[in-house]
Structure 1
Amino acid sequence: MGVVSELFTANRVAVVGATPREGSIGRAITRNLLEDYEGEVVPVNPNYDEVLGIPAVGDVDDADADLAVVVVPPSIVIDAIESCGEAGVRNVVVITAGFGEAGAEGAQRERRLQEIAEEYELNLVGPNSLGIMSTPTGMNATFGPENAIPGGLSFMSQSGAFITAVLDWANDQGIGFKDVVSLGNKAVLDETDFLRTWGDDEETDVVIGYLEGIEEGREFIDTAREVTNDTPVVLVKSGRTSAGAQAASSHTGTLAGSDRAYEAGLDQAGVLRAESVQELFDYAGVLAGQPLPETEDVAVITNAGGPGVMATDAIGDSDLSMASFTTETTDRLKESMPEEANIHNPVDIIGDADIDRFREALEIVLADDNVGSALVLSAPTAVLSFDDLAEAAADVQSDTGLPIATCLMGGDDARAAGRQLQEYGIPSYFDPARAVSSLDALARFRRITEREYETPTEFDVDRERAREILGSVLDRDDNRLGVEAMGLLDAYGIPIPDGDIVDSPDEAESVARGIEGPVVMKIVSPDILHKSDIGGVAVGVDDADVADTYEDLITRARNYQPDADLLGVQVQEMVDLEDGIETIVGMNRDPQFGPLLMFGLGGIFVEVLEDTAFRVAPVAKSEAREMTEEVKTAPLLRGARGRDPVDVDGVVETVQRLSQLVTDFPAILELDINPLVALPEATGDADEAQQTAGVTAVDIALTVDPEQLEAEHND
């Protein structure tokens, strides 16, 4: 693959399949390029001497082009791309559809496209793409109805129709773009490639996008973490519901991952996720035009009490907070504002406020060190010009360097002032909630830029023992493992109770005698997943009752499912559940992002409460700790309602060790440790190797991909 940015800097563009035929895509692309493009356009079509008055050539080899836009029938696209490679054209946009989104034949054609792109090191966009744009050169290599206007946003989308709709709306709003890419099927170049390219582009202020899926989740996270150190990234990710995910798959051929994985992955990547097109451009506008606030504290200045209360409510619902003014600020406001005014936040300078009062209030408030940003909110009155207010807000923002958002609640005059504010990079909204949301996005991005990403801890573990335990599925018909795989956790330093799996009453008694106190006994069978539901678990069994309990458990299992594969009975040390907290630590392997870790309250309540936190593995210590802090039940871990605090550090380390386990073995498709009991006091010998004091994994269930396991073993 070449330098992706060269797609946007081409001096000579060949349109392979250009035609003068009315209504054709080849004509539309050629026409669009001829309108504003500063470079040369070369139609490629052996059937014409010229297209739209421009001399045509019969083969791309004669075009001497930097970029080829291919719009020929699917059956000859492969030959056209191969000709581009042989002619030395390294940048290609494939408009033609009929590839991975069009059944088995199309998928085979797309694979061939990938092979040619790899052979010739092509930067290839598409296929099934609307095309690309770059406003610095006026290049519109799309078949959309209009070009973008120049600006600082670079925009990628998996939907070509979304691009045409957005550009039509954005042009009307005066919103400009630097580069625009219709990703199409992403056979070669994908969202990560363009994210990396625009992150290095000084002319791109904000990267925005509409995505239906992310091809390589981990690579995307790692790339975005570097980009968002300086450049904001805002994405709309569709397919949030199961129905939406299915629609995305059928529309683009993208296998959509779970929305929880995307939520976790985008957050870890430092990407701001917008829930709507309106949010996408609200966030993009404020991030492109305003400085970042130093604090989350917002001052509201308004001439309308009701909207001021609305703004206060919106701030309360966000991660922002209402700024507390210093005594000096309130004294100055008291001296300069009418007696009826409210000099505390929100500052209500009442309905007869003219521009001088607005300006003075804004200057006083933004001089307060406790204020990180301001919201200027105004309803229309006969004594105030919105144009004057826009100029005053721009002046004060320029003087203070603090971010400002405005809420001008009116019609034509408000819209005209909003366009004036837009020239200064100050966003304006009709709805106070949107203004607050934009300031919240600024504060969120500041926190993103302040993140320090740690390297995940590499623990000393016994990989060979773990591989041997996982390999036991190769000798059985079922690919699920249960308590018989507890040694897998032990191999990775996660504490487990003493005990063993036995297949006779005598062995059960022998194991029980080696454990102090009563024991827990459980049926071991891959065919009986919910053992407690059938009476397959006995708790608090004394030594004298172990043999009879063994027989009873086997009988119950046989009666419940005569053909079940019984591996025996687990005899296990009892763990004190009364003083401890039952948690769950698990993993589900997402098709895009890979291992998705979960933490939450465990035991029988996990599915009822659904109080869980997620991260994409591998995770560092700080990320594992964040998981334990995000759940609503986190106070229970730290000693709520008179309980002793449990060993949170032990839980954090267990999450890290599980992260390493599922990263080391991609064959593990899903895994649950439920419950992982966190105790108030350390258990076991603190000096014992690979032991995490204060937590014990009581049960495990996992699913393994045998083919992947064999492939890993062969590697």
Structure 2
Amino acid sequence: MSELAGLFAPQCVAVVGATEREGSVGRAVVRNLLADFEGEVVPVNPRFDRLFDRECHDSVAGTGADLAVVAVPAEAVPGVVEQASEASIENVVVISAGFGEAGPEGTDREERLVDIAEEYDLNLVGPNSIGVISTPSGLNATFSPRNALDGSISFMSQSGAYITAVLDWAADRNLGFKDIVSLGNKAVLDESDFVAAWGDDPETDVVLGYLEGIRDGRRFMEVAREVTAETPVLAVKSGRTEAGATAAASHTGAIAGSEAAYDAGLDQSGVIRVDTGEELFEFGQMLAGQPLPEGEGVAVVTNAGGPGVMATDAIGDAEAELAPLGESTRERLDDVLPAAASRRNPVDVIGDADADRFGAALEVVLDDPNVGAAVVIACPTATLAFESLADTLAAVTGDYDLPVAACLMGGESTEAAAATLADVGLPSYFDPARAVRSLDVLFEYREIRDRTYEAPRTFDVDREAAREILATVRDRSDNRLGVEAMDLLEAYGIPTPEGRIVDSPRAARETAEAIDGDVVMKIVSPDILHKTDVGGVEVGVADEDVADIYETLVTRARNYQQDARILGVQVQEMVDLGAGVETIVGANRDPQFGPLLLFGLGGVFVEVFEDTATRVAPVSEREAAGMIDAIDSAPLLRGARGRTPVDEAAVVETIGRLSQLVTDFPAIVELDINPLVATPDGVAAVDLRLTVDPETL
């Protein structure tokens, strides 16, 4: 942690705004530092000569500090930070509020802080932060009423109040931390900086985050991908909203909202997204204290049948599986269990079991090669002392490099035992399902750790032709393009049916005669987004009917909207929808993560079923194939109900080509290919709709 070493392990901390006034932030910060910090603490306040029985400086400039904690009125903060920078103090924590969260004047002050930090290459936390904690150095530069216990979990939070609550909660559960950072407004240092720093820190085993947003999604993904190969990262992302709640000009825009981008971005970067704060810390404690499983199966050892069944059900819902115990294991269990006990998984040691019987049974199942992890469930009985069981579990698990979770199903009687288990990194739970889910996160992270990231495939495309097509929006009164831009797909190698747009019945007839078989005809108008709803599509039109249908489509469009701009009628080779599956491939642009791809079941029912998968572009072939795996209707593509499987490789390639298109052209705001008809012989993009920002071309 070379770049941020001075932030977490300073030699001298200056507290600007120090005071002995009761109830003040400046007093609380100094008190917390004096309690445990191994280095020097220097109060700074021009109103006093001495504070806390030590010399008080009138300026941060003469303190010799390598970390400054600033707790002064907001309007004075930029001046203090500049003084610190000029005095070669590289690390600053701004606790003061009244910046970007406080309106235009505060925003101006925050921008000033950013300018100073850039000029002096400053590590700045906040503003509007409660501070930082680092237990190895005894640093508690916060105004939290409680300090952290020692541990190997590093935690960041956008909510300072949440940190104070977590510290109080964690103390009762013997949950320790290495570093804690209150991110505040993230004016300079943000979540990416701390994930990178903790990924390089040998004393951090797990990184946890409470996030309300990610400032630069693409940078975060790059950093997290590298870090999660060695260090697990888990996050709660709050502020979930209903995807597509606002109107959008495409199906993709309606379905792939911001939360879909966060889900995709975190998943692709190896970050485990959890739903609750309780999961965040329970899973973090498990990852910090237990080894990763080698095998696939989970064994359950219990003194109660019902909770054993509950654990079995939870395993059925998990990534892991219930381990089949081998014959030799069952024979060895005969030697340690009474006749009434169950020798199959879950292993029921029955209600009169003491700690020794639990320990003997656990040793036997952990020796089974099919067992990669175990859950021990104990209900209180007259023959079982939880404290003895905790000592036994600590001794047994110390001899095995396998993860174990304890489920002590009691209240006050379990507290001492739970503390004993926590001391050896063995988490305990009341609910069997929670114990199983926490174990399951080890299997989940093992899969993340073993991932091999591939570079996206680069296709040979006609980028200049694509640019010219997109630039046609400059000559229009809106920024939407439809089937008149089908050549855009051709430029990027995405197959389209034969056809063209015509502006007269005669041209329609000539085009149809050049195409084998009947044709599809569609009205082309930027003002009519859903053509089928207004009778703007006719399928299976014979050559002799084409001219009349041309007139009919134009009349319907005029009757629907008199001032609609009619660009013509598309005459297109008819694709046999019965021979394939209608899918959708689309993209929209997320403000944090950039282009977001969507794939799923398409056609007119795309927004009804919303059976789609999303990924942040660009995607590798493996990620593109994973989008197919992720949708519920994947069996339709793979030959369900006797159908011939579609050309899945062609679908994957199309996703890859679209990924390259929207990555090459940030001007594409939204794009739908719907339907993309997938058949055993390939794919065909039948319809297109996109929105373009001409200012970014």
Deviation by residue 1:444-486 (Cα, 9 ceiling, x = unmatched): 0111111001011111111111111111111111111111111
Could you tell me which residue of structure 2 aligns to residue 445 of structure 1? 445
SS where residue 167 of structure 2 aligns? helix
Mapped pair 1:353 → 2:353: yes
Q: Distance in 2 between matches of 1:652 and 1:99?
A: 47
Q: State the AA in 2 paired with 1:166.
A: V
Q: State the AA in 2 paired with 1:239.
A: G
- 1:365-514 aligned at under 5 Å gives the runs 365-514=365-514
Could you tell me which residue of structure 1 aligns to residue 536 of structure 2? 536
Task: Using the TM superposition, give the Cα deviation of residue 172 of structure 1 relative to its aligned residue in structure 2, in angstroms.
Answer: 2.1
- Is the contact between residue 211 and residue 238 of structure 2 (CA under 8 Å) also seen in structure 1? yes
Q: How many residue pairs get matched?
A: 687
- Is the contact between residue 296 and residue 370 of structure 2 (CA under 8 Å) also seen in structure 1? no
- Is the contact between residue 149 and residue 171 of structure 1 (CA under 8 Å) also seen in structure 2? yes
Q: Which runs of 5+ in 1 are unaligned?
A: 247-255, 683-693, 710-715
Residues 171 and 336 of structure 1: is their aligned pair in 2 closer, same or farther, counting only changes over 3 Å? closer
- 1:227-246 aligned at under 5 Å gives the runs 227-242=227-242
Percent identity among equivalent residues?
A: 65
SS where residue 562 of structure 1 aligns? coil
Could you tell me which residue of structure 2 aligns to residue 519 of structure 1? 519
Could you tell me which residue of structure 1 aligns to residue 89 of structure 2? 89
Q: Distance in 2 between matches of 1:48 and 1:257?
A: 54
Could you tell me which residue of structure 1 aligns to residue 171 of structure 2? 171
Q: Distance in 1 between matches of 2:396 and 2:269?
A: 34
Q: Distance in 2 between matches of 1:80 and 1:354?
A: 64
Could you tell me which residue of structure 2 aligns to residue 336 of structure 1? 336
- Is the contact between residue 4 and residue 193 of structure 1 (CA under 8 Å) also seen in structure 2? no
- Is the contact between residue 2 and residue 90 of structure 1 (CA under 8 Å) also seen in structure 2? no
Q: State the AA in 2 paired with 1:614.
A: T
Q: Distance in 2 between matches of 1:549 and 1:119?
A: 68
The one of 666, 685, 697 aligned to 2:685: 697
Could you tell me which residue of structure 2 aligns to residue 712 of structure 1? none
Task: Using the TM superposition, give the Cα deviation of residue 673 of structure 1 relative to its aligned residue in structure 2, in angstroms.
Answer: 0.8
SS where residue 88 of structure 1 aligns? coil
Mapped pair 1:36 → 2:24: no
Residues 257 and 551 of structure 1: is their aligned pair in 2 closer, same or farther, counting only changes over 3 Å? closer
Q: Which runs of 5+ in 2 are unaligned?
A: 247-255
- Is the contact between residue 213 and residue 257 of structure 1 (CA under 8 Å) also seen in structure 2? no
Q: Distance in 1 between matches of 2:563 and 2:156?
A: 55
Residues 158 and 257 of structure 1: is their aligned pair in 2 closer, same or farther, counting only changes over 3 Å? farther
Q: Distance in 2 between matches of 1:503 and 1:572?
A: 14
Task: Using the TM superposition, give the Cα deviation of residue 334 of structure 1 relative to its aligned residue in structure 2, in angstroms.
Answer: 3.2
Q: State the AA in 1 paired with 2:389.
A: L
Deviation by residue 1:122-160 (Cα, 9 ceiling, x = unmatched): 001111111111111111111111211211111100000
SS where residue 231 of structure 2 aligns? coil
Q: Distance in 1 between matches of 2:362 and 2:606?
A: 50
Task: Using the TM superposition, give the Cα deviation of residue 23 of structure 1 relative to its aligned residue in structure 2, in angstroms.
Answer: 2.1
Q: Which moved more, 1:170-179 or 1:1-10?
A: 1-10
Q: Which moved more, 1:430-439 or 1:263-272?
A: 263-272
Q: Distance in 2 between matches of 1:211 and 1:283?
A: 17
Deviation by residue 1:349-369 (Cα, 9 ceiling, x = unmatched): 111112232122111111110
Task: Using the TM superposition, give the Cα deviation of residue 53 of structure 1 relative to its aligned residue in structure 2, in angstroms.
Answer: 2.0
Task: Using the TM superposition, give the Cα deviation of residue 51 of structure 1 relative to its aligned residue in structure 2, in angstroms.
Answer: 2.1
Deviation by residue 1:86-141 (Cα, 9 ceiling, x = unmatched): 11111111111111111222222212211111011000111111111111111111
Q: Distance in 2 between matches of 1:462 and 1:295?
A: 49
SS where residue 579 of structure 2 aligns? coil
Task: Using the TM superposition, give the Cα deviation of residue 626 of structure 1 relative to its aligned residue in structure 2, in angstroms.
Answer: 0.7
- 1:77-226 aligned at under 5 Å gives the runs 77-226=77-226
Q: Distance in 1 between matches of 2:354 and 2:57?
A: 67
- Is the contact between residue 69 and residue 92 of structure 1 (CA under 8 Å) also seen in structure 2? yes
Q: Distance in 2 between matches of 1:173 and 1:397?
A: 20
SS where residue 300 of structure 2 aligns? strand
Task: Using the TM superposition, give the Cα deviation of residue 407 of structure 1 relative to its aligned residue in structure 2, in angstroms.
Answer: 0.5
Could you tell me which residue of structure 1 aligns to residue 249 of structure 2? none
Q: State the AA in 1 paired with 2:289.
A: G
Q: State the AA in 2 paired with 1:646.
A: V
Q: Distance in 1 between matches of 2:196 and 2:257?
A: 22
Q: Distance in 2 between matches of 1:357 and 1:156?
A: 42
Q: State the AA in 2 paired with 1:6.
A: G
Q: State the AA in 1 paired with 2:449.
A: T
Q: Distance in 2 between matches of 1:162 and 1:503?
A: 63
Task: Using the TM superposition, give the Cα deviation of residue 21 of structure 1 relative to its aligned residue in structure 2, in angstroms.
Answer: 2.5
Q: Distance in 2 between matches of 1:18 and 1:356?
A: 57
Could you tell me which residue of structure 1 aligns to residue 580 of structure 2? 580
- Is the contact between residue 307 and residue 377 of structure 1 (CA under 8 Å) also seen in structure 2? yes
Q: Distance in 1 between matches of 2:550 and 2:104?
A: 54
Task: Using the TM superposition, give the Cα deviation of residue 335 of structure 1 relative to its aligned residue in structure 2, in angstroms.
Answer: 4.2
Q: Which moved more, 1:13-22 or 1:416-425?
A: 13-22
Deviation by residue 1:235-293 (Cα, 9 ceiling, x = unmatched): 111111359x99xxxxxxxxx97111111111111111221111111101110010000
Q: Distance in 1 between matches of 2:354 and 2:25?
A: 56
SS where residue 273 of structure 1 aligns? strand
SS where residue 597 of structure 2 aligns? strand
Q: State the AA in 1 paired with 2:141.
A: A
Mapped pair 1:629 → 2:617: no
Could you tell me which residue of structure 2 aligns to residue 679 of structure 1? 679
Q: Distance in 1 between matches of 2:134 and 2:365?
A: 42
Residues 66 and 467 of structure 1: is their aligned pair in 2 closer, same or farther, counting only changes over 3 Å? same
Could you tell me which residue of structure 2 aligns to residue 651 of structure 1? 651
Task: Using the TM superposition, give the Cα deviation of residue 2 of structure 1 relative to its aligned residue in structure 2, in angstroms.
Answer: 8.8
- Is the contact between residue 295 and residue 369 of structure 2 (CA under 8 Å) also seen in structure 1? no
- Is the contact between residue 12 and residue 67 of structure 1 (CA under 8 Å) also seen in structure 2? yes
SS where residue 97 of structure 2 aligns? coil
Q: State the AA in 2 paired with 1:705.
A: D
Could you tell me which residue of structure 1 aligns to residue 252 of structure 2? none
Task: Using the TM superposition, give the Cα deviation of residue 295 of structure 1 relative to its aligned residue in structure 2, in angstroms.
Answer: 2.7
- Is the contact between residue 72 and residue 96 of structure 1 (CA under 8 Å) also seen in structure 2? yes
Q: State the AA in 1 paired with 2:279.
A: E
Q: Distance in 2 between matches of 1:356 and 1:18?
A: 57
Mapped pair 1:553 → 2:553: yes
Q: TM-score, normalised by structure 1?
A: 0.94
Residues 484 and 2 of structure 1: is their aligned pair in 2 closer, same or farther, counting only changes over 3 Å? farther
- Is the contact between residue 494 and residue 654 of structure 1 (CA under 8 Å) also seen in structure 2? yes
SS where residue 331 of structure 1 aligns? helix
Task: Using the TM superposition, give the Cα deviation of residue 413 of structure 1 relative to its aligned residue in structure 2, in angstroms.
Answer: 2.7
Q: Distance in 2 between matches of 1:292 and 1:560?
A: 63
Q: Which moved more, 1:377-386 or 1:632-641?
A: 377-386
Task: Using the TM superposition, give the Cα deviation of residue 54 of structure 1 relative to its aligned residue in structure 2, in angstroms.
Answer: 2.1
Could you tell me which residue of structure 2 aligns to residue 690 of structure 1? none
SS where residue 576 of structure 2 aligns? coil
Q: Distance in 2 between matches of 1:657 and 1:536?
A: 29
Task: Using the TM superposition, give the Cα deviation of residue 679 of structure 1 relative to its aligned residue in structure 2, in angstroms.
Answer: 0.5
- Is the contact between residue 21 and residue 27 of structure 1 (CA under 8 Å) also seen in structure 2? yes
Q: Distance in 2 between matches of 1:54 and 1:481?
A: 71
Task: Using the TM superposition, give the Cα deviation of residue 394 of structure 1 relative to its aligned residue in structure 2, in angstroms.
Answer: 2.0
Q: State the AA in 2 paired with 1:340.
A: A
- Is the contact between residue 5 and residue 197 of structure 1 (CA under 8 Å) also seen in structure 2? no
Q: State the AA in 1 paired with 2:392.
A: A
Q: TM-score, normalised by structure 2?
A: 0.96
Q: Distance in 2 between matches of 1:439 and 1:296?
A: 11
Task: Using the TM superposition, give the Cα deviation of residue 72 of structure 1 relative to its aligned residue in structure 2, in angstroms.
Answer: 1.5
Residues 498 and 257 of structure 1: is their aligned pair in 2 closer, same or farther, counting only changes over 3 Å? closer
- Is the contact between residue 196 and residue 223 of structure 1 (CA under 8 Å) also seen in structure 2? yes
Q: Distance in 2 between matches of 1:349 and 1:624?
A: 48
Could you tell me which residue of structure 1 aligns to residue 641 of structure 2? 641
Q: Which moved more, 1:53-62 or 1:127-136?
A: 53-62
Q: Distance in 2 between matches of 1:548 and 1:20?
A: 90
Q: Distance in 2 between matches of 1:565 and 1:111?
A: 46
Q: Distance in 2 between matches of 1:573 and 1:334?
A: 73
